[in-house]
Amino acid sequence: MMKQYIEEAEAALLHTYNRYQVVLDKGDGVYLYDIEGKKYLDFASGIGVFALGYHNEMYNDALKGQIDKLIHTSNYYYNIPAIEAAQKLKKASGMDRIFFTNSGAEAVEGALKAARKYAYLKDGCKDHEIIAMEHSFHGRTFGALSVTGNPHYREAFEPMIGNVRFAELNDFDSVLAQVTDKTCAIILETVQGEGGIYPATEDFLKKVRALCDERDILLILDEIQCGMGRTGTMFAWQRYGVKPDIMATAKALGCGIPVGAFAMTERVGSRSLTSGDHGTTYGGNPLACAAVSRVFDLFESERILENVDQVGEYLGTCLEKLVEEYTFIEAARGVGLMRGLACSVLVGGIINRALEKGLILINAGTQVIRFIPPLIISRQNVDEMMGILRECLDEVEI
């Protein structure tokens, strides 16, 4: 049956993903099950989406209740779930103005447009530049792709939007070297995800923030993967006290329902996008925002951030031990429940073996194993994962 479904999918779907040969059927807690009943410990959480795990009844009930009331109206009208979700996102982030999108890439698109409009209103020029980071990943739409620091993703789709310069994360001099009088924004992930799990350092962030303040450049922080509690604070930048002018978020914001947002300070909100500048048909719909609202409630009632701090530290310690035990593991890095193992070998085979043994892992580049489990995992789940992972690592041929 599994093989038949996979063959039907390959015949019908556009082949833009190299999918693992599994058809998933249902989930419960931190476990997923395929259509043949096999159980998998999930350490990928739908690429950082399912922070609350699977089959959370309070989350499901919020969605079921909203489905019975109202799913969509368009943004010509107000709706209460969007108002409540915006208020809770404002409180959690300390930002002032919210725009709900359908995805993280759309959130980045909106952030870039807001930065360009802010600069345009200052001087009327149309040639402003944006500085982004090498090895970054912001999405696959044209604007987001234009600031993604991996030429492999961009080359087949060029020309990009233009006027984008690239610097190195955690190298402030490289940022300074790219600044011109046309620079309107600097965009970076507070913790690089797809690029290999590289956290920005506190010193680097504070220097970039000071530079932006000095020259009236907007700082855009992409918290799509590293935000919503994954590093132990609601947003990763809160660990350093370096507040952005614009922030993009998504993934765990809706914990499964497609929703993202970009948020900005009042200074930017009052001097950038206005009526007619930006829009979305589905963004901020009642169903998506009911999910967002309930997610914030559950983060508080389930003490998610406390669990990330405690279990994340334990996970980090366990991964550090592997660096000592295996010669082909070069480093363990990351923060909270966003971790990576950098290897001197390709990790695809390790991930495939783990899947066969009932453990779901994903990569961050060809030589980094990525660990982004649901934020509700326990130390026991970490121990279970480590047992399977060690079996897979023992089979690596160097």
pLDDT digits (tens, 9 = 90+) for 221-274: 999 999 999 999 999 999 999 999 999 999 999 999 999 999 999 999 999 999
Q: Rounded to an integer, what distance in angstroms lies between the CA atom of residue 193 and that of residue 187?
A: 14
pLDDT of residue 398 exceeding 80, the answer is: no
| Mean pLDDT within 98-104 | 98
Instruction: Identify the pLDDT of residue 380.
Output: 98
Q: Rounded to an integer, what distance in angstroms lies between the CA atom of residue 73 and that of residue 326?
A: 55
For helices 348-356 and 379-394, what crossing angle results, to 10°? 120
Q: Rounded to an integer, what distance in angstroms lies between the CA atom of residue 132 and that of residue 77?
A: 36
Instruction: Identify the pLDDT of residue 238.
Output: 98
CATH of domain 2-55+303-394: 3.90.1150.10
Among 254, 151, 143, 239, which Cα is nearest to 191's?
Answer: 239
Tokens of 186: 């600097």
Instruction: Identify the pLDDT of residue 219.
Output: 98
pLDDT mean across residues, the chain? 97
pLDDT of residue 396 exceeding 80, the answer is: yes
Tokens of 25: 């059927």
Q: How many CB atoms lie within 10 A of CB 165?
A: 17
| Mean pLDDT within 100-111 | 98
Architecture of the CATH domain 70-301 = 3-Layer(aba) Sandwich (3.40)
Instruction: Identify the pLDDT of residue 372.
Output: 98
Residue extent(s) of CATH 3.90.1150.10 domains in the chain: 2-55+303-394
Listed in sequence order, the DSSP H helices in the chain are 2-12, 45-48, 57-67, 80-93, 104-123, 142-146, 151-154, 172-178, 202-215, 266-269, 286-301, 304-325, 348-356, 379-394
pLDDT of residue 1 exceeding 90, the answer is: no
Residue extent(s) of CATH 3.40.640.10 domains in the chain: 70-301
Peptide bond into 159 cis (omega under 30): yes
